[in-house]
């Protein structure tokens, strides 16, 4: 496990964090970051998927704006910086291009799934709808998905939302459910960011259930 570099279609060199399983890989998993960069939590998620038998990588999506961004969860300036980079500075076309390069980088290990959190949840949905060779996706509390709810995914998708999430109202979740009858949309008694043990909103029971559902989803579709 450790940091490597891949090359996107336009020649841009993108940093990734990668972890390998002990035995023969079941396939590959691309882990898409929150607005806080590929920080300790995201690296831990990558390591977890490697322990489950997948080659897992997290592309440093912010590298086109600033390399090696790694932000915390408690300081307002970190939140503001991550929000600005994600929703003002990045160009979505380039971001999806970099995710495609990440998928391509691990395709030799088998089918590739994508899982993302917060901003990465939105990117997971867009990847499932626009990119090639994404075999399955799992999106956690992806803000903004409701604005793209009528897109057609190319692969099986599941989604996870927190009922107490002030950033994503249940009315947005209902829009997604109505538009995507083939997508399993799970709602938990939890807040935004419930999967992250470094956040005050962490909810262990919901995190464990969402992880189990995600692993089962990948088992069905990647192996």
Catalytic residues: 118, 165, 192
User: Among 51, 45, 13, which Cα is nearest to 32's?
Assistant: 45
Neighbours of 94 (CB within 10 A): 17
Q: What is the CA radius of gyration of the chain?
A: 16
Q: What count of residues does the chain have? A: 223
184: CB partners within 8 A, 6+ apart: 157, 158, 159, 213
DSSP secondary structure of 2-38: EEEEEE-TTS-EEEEEEE--SSS-S-EEEEEP-TTBS
> Buried (b) or exposed (e) across 176-207, using 16+ Cβ within 10 A?
bbeebeebebbbbebbbbbbbeebebbbeebb
């Amino acid at each position: 496990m450790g940091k490597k570099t891949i090359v996107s279609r336009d020649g841009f060199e993108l940093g990734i964090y990668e972890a390998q399983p002990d035995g023969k890989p079941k396939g590959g998993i691309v882990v898409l970051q929150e607005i806080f960069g590929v920080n300790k939590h995201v690296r831990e998620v990558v390591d977890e998927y490697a322990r489950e038998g997948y080659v897992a990588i997290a592309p440093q999506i912010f590298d086109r704006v600033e390399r090696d961004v790694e932000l915390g969860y408690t300081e307002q300036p970190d939140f503001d910086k991550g929000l600005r980079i994600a929703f003002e500075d990045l160009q979505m076309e380039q971001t999806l291009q970099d995710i495609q390069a990440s998928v391509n980088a691990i395709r030799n290990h088998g089918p590739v799934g994508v899982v993302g959190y917060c901003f990465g949840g939105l990117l997971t949905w867009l990847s499932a709808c626009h990119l090639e060779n994404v075999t399955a996706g799992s999106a956690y509390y992806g803000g903004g998905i409701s604005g793209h709810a009528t897109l057609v995914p190319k692969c099986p998708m599941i989604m996870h939302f927190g009922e107490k999430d002030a950033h994503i109202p249940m009315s947005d979740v209902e829009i997604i459910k109505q538009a995507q009858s083939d997508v399993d949309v799970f709602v938990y008694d939890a807040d935004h960011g419930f999967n992250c043990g470094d956040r005050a909103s962490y909810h262990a029971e919901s995190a464990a259930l969402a992880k189990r559902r995600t692993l089962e989803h990948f088992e069905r579709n990647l192996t």
